[in-house]
Amino acid sequence: MLFNSFHFIVFFIAVTFFYYLLPHRFRWILLLAASYIFYMAWRPELIILIIFSTFVNYTLSLKIYKSRNAANRRRMLAASVVINFTLLFVFKYLVFFNDTFIALFAGFGGKWPIESFDVILPMGISFYTFQAAAYTIDVYRGDIKPVKNYGKFSLFITFFPQLVAGPIERSRNLLPQFYKKHRFNIKRVILGLKIMMWGFFKKVVIADRAAIAVNTVFNSAQHYTGLTLVVATVLFSFQLYCDFSGYSDIAVGSAKVLGFNLMKNFDRPYLSKSVREFWRRWHISLSSWFMDYVYIPLGGSRGSKLKTYRNLFVTFLVSGLWHGANWTYVIWGGMHGVFIIIERITDGARTKIKNLLGYKNNSFSFGIINLFSVIFTFGLVTLSFIFFRANSVGDAFYIFDHILWGFRSWTDPQYIYNTALNLGMSLYELKTVIIAILTLIAAELLLGGDIHRTLMKKNFFIRLAFYSFIAVFILTAGVFYNAGEFIYFQF
């Protein structure tokens, strides 16, 4: 079930109504049933995978907690990890690796014995697998005690607002909330609806509108050069951000309406002054997951600098592979690993340059250096997204090779006009998405990291004007016909 669909609106209103109507002790049952219905609206038979994952992690985590034998605990943890990630491998990566071996053997004149085949990719499998695996690992580490109520643990794995695209919640945050009584609070409900509205604005006005141009260019990349590729690449940066952060806003907002607090997943990432800062602001739940369960277990920053760089690079390669079963994602992850390693290596030199320019004592230098850092970081991240969006490695290299073609013509009004016509959208649609993006940037710059909390401190007329403007923008410029899936559903 898509958030940006009429079915979800009806579904959410009904769930909220009956949720507050029911006594507290029955509410988790309603939420669990609603979560299963929410997922089964896509492909009912695949709910069996979530049920299996729930049973495995619930059972093994209890056994791990009760066992006093260290070897047995390690074996049960290993069983949990193997089962969780075998499930993920079979449904997400098996086809990818098989096709890779087919191509590899063909390159050497041989033949891989297994023919190419297809496997259905269950929606959100990476998200609920990571959430379930983290729970069992936390129990093994002694960070949490396992929950005894099987139904409420099932709800933790399947809670519908964040089931298919996160945030990837930690048990210590979400599980205790299922035991608390949530009374109807009109202020909290209104705040939740405002957060949802902002998420819908990002998704249906910016992301789905930008997708028209992005799909036109990237799906036929080798027909385009120069400024057209630049515009499509920048639009994809905003499409991806607004699509995914829009989903997170709707998830956080809908959970808040029901009385639950989900973790913040985005914090104005395109205002980051370094790639390291970007990853502290982008997909925060996944970044922290890889930090806790991949980077630190590999050794983290303990040991030599060379080992630290190795751990960073491996973590980002794995992160890239998590995003999709394609070499484009692996290269994208590797690029970010290289970016961060270079930043670490050059920390000292960059600090000296800033000090020579009076970074700390001169407000003008401070502002210029920060502005340059933000623009440079956005440029690096946006260029890396070429691999994230390209249909193949070949397409990505073509774009890199042709993106600066005709640079001298970029100030020619006729060339700019022709570029606008080549994007597959009308000039009205292009103007609409540009105005929407400028609105997003202005809101994030002027209202800070928590737009809605900041607006609560403003007077009534400012709040009314802002939310009325956003509501009208959604209703008049939102893409509702053939509404697109959220990008991260495929992960």
Residues 431-444 pLDDT 10s? 999 999 999 999 99
Query: What is the spatial distance between Cα 76 and Cα 79, in angstroms, rounded to a whole number?
Result: 5
Identify whether 323 is a catalytic site residue: yes
Judge whether residue 359 has pLDDT over 80.
no
Q: What's the pLDDT at 369? A: 83
Query: Model confidence over 197-251: pLDDT tens digits?
Result: 999 999 999 999 999 999 999 999 999 999 999 999 999 999 999 999 999 999 9
Q: What's the pLDDT at 482? A: 63
Q: What's the pLDDT at 484? A: 65
Q: What's the pLDDT at 121? A: 86
Judge whether residue 361 has pLDDT over 70.
no
Confidence of residue 118 (pLDDT cuts 50, 70, 90): confident
Kindly state the tokens that stand for 462: 């400012």
Q: What's the pLDDT at 490? A: 64
* Contact between residue 92 and residue 125 where contact means Cβ atoms under 8 Å apart: yes
Q: What's the pLDDT at 43? A: 85
Confidence of residue 483 (pLDDT cuts 50, 70, 90): low
Q: What's the pLDDT at 177? A: 95
Average pLDDT of 293-299? 93
Judge whether residue 358 has pLDDT over 80.
no
Query: Model confidence over 20-57: pLDDT tens digits?
Result: 999 999 999 999 999 999 999 888 999 999 999 999 99
Cβ partners under 8 Å of residue 281, min gap 6 = 266, 267, 268, 269, 271, 272
The residue from 283, 323, 336, 452 that is catalytic is 323
Nearest to 235 by CA among 406, 433, 479: 433
In the block, tokens 């692996």 appear at 330
Query: Nearest 5°: phi and psi at 296?
Result: -65, -45
Judge whether residue 423 has pLDDT over 90.
yes
In the chain, % of residues over pLDDT 90: 76
Q: What's the pLDDT at 479? A: 85
Query: Model confidence over 171-211: pLDDT tens digits?
Result: 999 999 999 999 999 999 999 999 999 999 999 999 999 99
* Contact between residue 87 and residue 129 where contact means Cβ atoms under 8 Å apart: yes
Query: What is the spatial distance between Cα 189 and Cα 259, in angstroms, rounded to a whole number?
Result: 8
Q: What's the pLDDT at 2? A: 79
Kindly state the tokens that stand for 397: 């290299």
Judge whether residue 486 has pLDDT over 80.
no
Q: What's the pLDDT at 57? A: 96
* Contact between residue 328 and residue 390 where contact means Cβ atoms under 8 Å apart: yes
Largest CA-CA distance found in the chain, in angstroms, rounded: 75
Q: How many CB atoms lie within 10 A of CB 420?
A: 17
Q: What's the pLDDT at 367? A: 79
How high does pLDDT run on average in the chain? Answer: 91
Judge whether residue 347 has pLDDT over 90.
no
Kindly state the tokens that stand for 18: 């009956």
* Contact between residue 227 and residue 277 where contact means Cβ atoms under 8 Å apart: no
* Contact between residue 319 and residue 374 where contact means Cβ atoms under 8 Å apart: no
* Contact between residue 329 and residue 320 where contact means Cβ atoms under 8 Å apart: yes
Mark 349-359 as b/e (b = at least 16 C-beta within 10 Å). Answer: eeeeeeeeeeb
Lowest-confidence region among 64-73, 358-367, 436-445, 473-482: 358-367
